[in-house]
Structure 1
Amino acid sequence: MDVQSFFEQAKSTLNLPKTTPLQSAYQFGSEADELAQLVLTGTKTATTSAYDLYEADEPLPKVGAYDVILDAHDQPVCVTRTDQVMITPYLDITATHAYLEGEGDRTYAYWRHVHDVFFEQEYQSAHQLFDPQTAQMVLERFHVVYPAH
């Protein structure tokens, strides 16, 4: 099912106004299928993106907005609603946020290791240098409002 049809179905099921907009549809990182399943089960309720890499025409996420989470084949898995958005220095990200991201053993050490590697690659692909000392991050908290089942 395509993203827009999936979102229309979710709006109908949730009795949302027909004019409710879709903020975005996206995959999570390099493990899109695994991370989408963590979202679907409620294990993953947070994410981190690089504020420094947002384009001028790319809006920041907004509290109360709806997103469609996609699997590795760009198929809709679920709809989430954004609960919180914060911009914070990379080094100020807490163990609580790392736990809410739901990945690996959910420790800060695991989160930091995989995100150091991830952000180094993300910045490099944008021809920038990732510096944990100065990098600004967008932290989002969300919850599933419409499962694909």
Structure 2
Amino acid sequence: MNEETLHYWNTYWGEKKQPKEVNAWSFGGDPDGVADLVIKGVKTATCSGYLFYELEQEPLPKQGQYSIVLNSKEEPVAIIRISKVEVMPMNEVTEEFAFAEGEGDRTYQHWYSAHKQFFTNELRKIGKEFSDDMLLVLEQFELIHIKR
């Protein structure tokens, strides 16, 4: 976590007891545009490929965990808190979840098409192929603070 992000986090909490775990990251593809959707309250969910957690030996996100959303310049723009985490096959994701992702026209068709393209490209980089039933880590979150 860079100095600016750490300062933002510490300033937000002030004298209150801080959570033990926090991470900072930006959304793939269009970090600024997607971060703006979070700030506007349009995007309240995100997903990632379960396989990538396995390959990178990273723990799965947990309910109650905080994250600092970064823009494309690695600057903090908001704090979110995970309210729900599920692991499920991509072809079982609901229309409600696709809507909560807040991107495009918010339809399931747009969500599926965009995510299929994204995961196909990411999997190809590691010599894997896309499958409709690939496991995804689904996160729902709430916006806690916007950096002004």
Identify whether the pair has TM-score above 0.5, normalized to the shorter chain.
yes
- Stretches of structure 2 lacking an aligned partner (at least 5 in a row): none
Structure-2 residue corresponding to 1:34: 33
Q: What is the one-letter code of the residue matched to 1:146?
A: H
How many Å apart are 1:50 and its aligned residue?
0.3
Instruction: Kindly provide the CA deviation profile for residues 33-57 of structure 1, in whole angstroms up to 9, marking residues without a partner as x.
Output: 0000000111000001000111353
Structure 2-normalised TM-score? 0.92
How many Å apart are 1:16 and its aligned residue?
3.9
Structure-1 residue corresponding to 2:72: 72
- Cα separation, 2, equivalents of 1:22 and 1:30: 25
Q: What is the one-letter code of the residue matched to 1:10?
A: Y
Structure-1 residue corresponding to 2:84: 84
Contact 1:7 1:22 (C-alpha < 8 Å) held by counterparts: no
How many Å apart are 1:132 and its aligned residue?
1.5
How many Å apart are 1:115 and its aligned residue?
0.6
Contact 1:23 1:61 (C-alpha < 8 Å) held by counterparts: no
Structure-2 residue corresponding to 1:3: 5
**Secondary structure at the counterpart of residue 2 of structure 1:** helix
Contact 1:67 1:79 (C-alpha < 8 Å) held by counterparts: yes
Aligned structure 1 segments of 4 or more residues deviating by more than 4 angstroms: none
Instruction: Kindly provide the CA deviation profile for residues 72-98 of structure 1, in whole angstroms up to 9, marking residues without a partner as x.
Output: 111111000000000001100011000
**Secondary structure at the counterpart of residue 61 of structure 1:** coil
2:136 aligned with 1:147, yes or no? no
**Secondary structure at the counterpart of residue 80 of structure 1:** strand
Identity %: 33
Structure-1 residue corresponding to 2:102: 102
Q: How many residues align?
A: 145
Q: What is the one-letter code of the residue matched to 1:11?
A: W
**Secondary structure at the counterpart of residue 63 of structure 2:** coil
- Stretches of structure 1 lacking an aligned partner (at least 5 in a row): none
Q: What do you get for the CA RMSD once the two structures are aligned?
A: 1.4
